[in-house]
Amino acid sequence: MIKSTIKYLVITLLICFFAGGCIQKRLITLTGAEIVPNSMTATPSMTITATKAVTASMSATPSCTQTSTPVDTITLSPTASPAQSSTPLSTATVTPTVLYRINLSLIHDVSTGDNSTVWFLISQNNTTPYPYATCTVDGILVPYSGDAFTNSNYMLPNAWIYKPGQQAFVTIEINGQTGTYTTAPLPGGITMTADGLNVSWTSPSAPGQFSTISVINSGHTQTYQAGPALVSPQTIPGSAYPAPDTYQVQISMENDVATDYNAPGIIWAGSVLTCYEIARLKVTK
């Protein structure tokens, strides 16, 4: 019995000795510090419990299912710029301008007595006769005549009196617009002596206007005086009557002016107003 006890103690001491040396050696390895064997107390109450490792079987289960929420799809259509409707420039129909040509003659023919005649020839663009104008001379209406022979649309014989030295006032109304014109003093007042040698007048042609004195015999015309600014009186030489015969002395005093009758855009500026007196006087030799 005692032997067994001693044997047990010896074995126990040996175990403690070896266990203490291993622990010391392990601590020296871990700390790097020297441990004095005499200062180490081995505590045999150290219990080492071996726990069986649990083998974790990991299933590769997706931890998160990401549901892809579709982003709102915006279809971008090309935005058409506001259609620029090019408004065409005004294509107004251009109506050709119609100008009215006025050929007006105020005539005094001394050879037929005190005969005064007014002739108006009115045409569109100098081609087509125009019958719708309203014409007056000194307030007297000149009616439309349509006289093809004289080529005058409007004629007024003897109703208006030609007065040499006085002015005449003319109006022409076309399509609601009126042109007006006041003449220069009317030339004329022609007289001649019975022998046919002296001619005179009371109202000359306007400056720059033409006057003529001619003697006509058997179809032959001899002009003795002509030109602007003739001064009254004028002499016809006796040689103008070389033989016994009946001669005709023709004297004319004339004013011609171009005018638009103060109606530009309506009446052609090249319209002509003629005022003249003519005397065809007989001389017997």
**Threshold 0.85, pTM exceeds:** no
pLDDT in tens, the chain (285 residues): 555 555 555 455 445 444 444 434 443 333 343 433 444 444 444 444 444 444 444 444 444 445 555 545 545 455 555 555 555 555 555 555 889 999 999 999 988 777 899 999 999 888 888 999 999 999 999 999 886 555 678 998 888 999 999 999 999 999 999 999 999 999 999 999 999 999 999 999 888 888 999 999 887 889 988 888 788 999 999 999 989 999 999 999 999 999 999 999 999 998 999 999 999 999 999
Query: Three-state SS across 219-253?
Result: CEEEEEEEEECCCCCEECCHHHCCCCCEEEEEEEE
Q: Are 17 and 24 in contact (CB under 8 A)?
A: no
CA 120, distance to chain mean position in Å, is 38
Structural contact between residues 277 and 187, judged by C-beta atoms closer than 8 angstroms: yes
CA–CA separation, 222 vs 109, rounded Å?
20
Written as one letter, the residue type at 6 is I
At 281, phi and psi to the nearest 5?
A: -110, 140
Residue 137 to residue 145: CA distance in whole angstroms: 16
Residue with tokens 């620029």: 84
Structure tokens at 173: 């109304």
